[in-house]
Amino acid sequence: MRLLNYWTIASFALTTAVLASDPKPLVTPSDLAANLKQSDLVVLDIRGDAYNNGHIPGSISAPYSLFRGPKNNPGQLSDVNLLEKHLENLGLQIDDRIVIASAGKSDTDFGAAARVYWTLKSTGFDDLAILNGGTLLWKNEGYATDKISVKPEKTELDIEFSYQWTAETDQVVSVTKGEVDAILLDARPITFYEGEKSHGAASRPGTLPNAKNYDYTSFFDEGSAAMAGITDIATLAKDLGIDNGDEVVSFCNTGHWAATNWFALSEVAGLDNIKLYPGSMVEYSNLDLPMENTPGLLKNLVKSISGN
C-alpha cells in the first residue's frame, strides 16, 4: 500500500435513487449500469479512437483532445467559443447528468476524466460524475460493450467560463511573491518536484517557489486505476497544511495530474477554495520566472545530452 492512513479502498456505492437525485462525484460500474437507460444521462467516452473498438452502450465519443491545448502548452485553457462548439456537437444540454469514462488502464488516466470534469463544471454543468475505474473496470466487471457509434443531435449552448476553480499564471506569481496567501500543491511524482525529470514541453525542470509535493498517486491503491476513498478529511487537510478554507492551487506539468488532486480535494473531500492551475509547469517554466529545485546549467546540459 502507498496510501496514507486516512485512506481506504471504497466502492463509493450509491443506490439507483441516490444517483438519480443526489449527484456524487464518483460512480461505480454497477451504479452506471443501473441508470444507463435514463433519458437525461449522458456518458462521455474520452478515450478517442478506442471508442470504435467497443464502448459503454449509448456513450458518446468525446476525445480528451477536445478539452486540451496545443502541443507546446497542453494544459492551456480552451477558447470558450471553440469549447462551446465542441460541447454543442456532443449534443450536451446544461442540465444533463453526465458521467465521464476514461480508459481506466492506470491511475494517470483518471487525470483525463478529472480535467474534463473540471472543465465542464467551470462552464456551468453541475450534475457530473466520473466512472471510477473507467471503461476497463466496466468491462472487467462483466458489463456489455458495443460498437454502435452514437451520433448526437447538435444543441445550442451559451456557456461562460467561471474562474472560481482556476488559478492563472499571474495569480500564481502573486502567490510565489508572497503577495497572496495560498498553498501551492505540486501533484507530480517527486522526481519532477525535485527537478530530476521534466515534461518535454517545459523549458526547465523544477517546481514553483515554496510549493509542497503531494503526488497524485497517493489517492490510489497500488496498481489500481480507481480512486480510493477518504476516511479522515480533517487529517488530510492537516497534513497538507490546509486550515479554515485556505486557498490551494493544484499544479503539475500540464494540469492533468493536478486535476486529480483538485478533484479529490474539492469534489470528494468537499474542501472549499481548491483551484487548478491549467497551464502548470509547462506554461510557467517557459516564462522568465523564478523556480525552485532547478538544476544548474551544467547539470541541465548533461541531462539534455544523455536524455536522462
- Domain total of the chain: 2
Q: Are residues 117 and 177 in the same domain?
A: no
Tell me, yes or no, whether 150 lies in a domain. no
Q: Are residues 56 and 14 in the same domain?
A: yes
Tell me, yes or no, whether 184 lies in a domain. yes
Q: For strand 229-230 and strand 7-8, is the pairing parallel, antiparallel, or unpaired?
A: antiparallel
Tell me, yes or no, whether 61 lies in a domain. yes
Tell me, yes or no, whether 163 lies in a domain. no
Q: Are residues 200 and 296 in the same domain?
A: yes
Ranges of residues in the chain whose predicted pLDDT is under 50: 1-21, 297-298, 307-308
Torsion of CA 90, 93, 97, 102, to 10 degrees: 20
Tell me the three cell numbers of residue 105: 488502464
Q: Are residues 128 and 182 in the same domain?
A: no
Phi, psi of 172 (to 5 degrees): -65, -40
Residue 79: predicted pLDDT: 95
Tell me, yes or no, whether 158 lies in a domain. no
Q: Are residues 178 and 135 in the same domain?
A: no
Q: Are residues 19 and 133 in the same domain?
A: yes
| List of residues 6+ apart from 96 with CB closer than 8 A | 40, 41, 42, 125, 127
Q: pTM here?
A: 0.90
Tell me, yes or no, whether 233 lies in a domain. yes
Q: Are residues 193 and 101 in the same domain?
A: no
Q: Which domain holds residue 47?
A: 7-140
Q: Are residues 128 and 35 in the same domain?
A: yes
* Contact present, 215 and 188 (Cβ < 8 Å): yes
- Residue 224, Cβ density class (10 Å: 0-12 exposed, 13-18 middle, ≥19 buried): middle
Residue 229: predicted pLDDT: 82
Q: Are residues 177 and 125 in the same domain?
A: no
Tell me, yes or no, whether 173 lies in a domain. yes
Residue 134: predicted pLDDT: 99
Q: Are residues 186 and 133 in the same domain?
A: no
Q: Are residues 127 and 229 in the same domain?
A: no
What's the CATH code of the domain at 57? 3.40.250.10
Query: Which of 140, 157, 184 delimits the end of a domain?
Result: 140
* DSSP H helices in the chain: 16-21, 29-35, 80-89, 107-122, 134-140, 169-176, 190-193, 233-240, 257-262, 280-285, 297-306
Q: Are residues 183 and 271 in the same domain?
A: yes
Tell me, yes or no, whether 146 lies in a domain. no
Residue 295: predicted pLDDT: 84
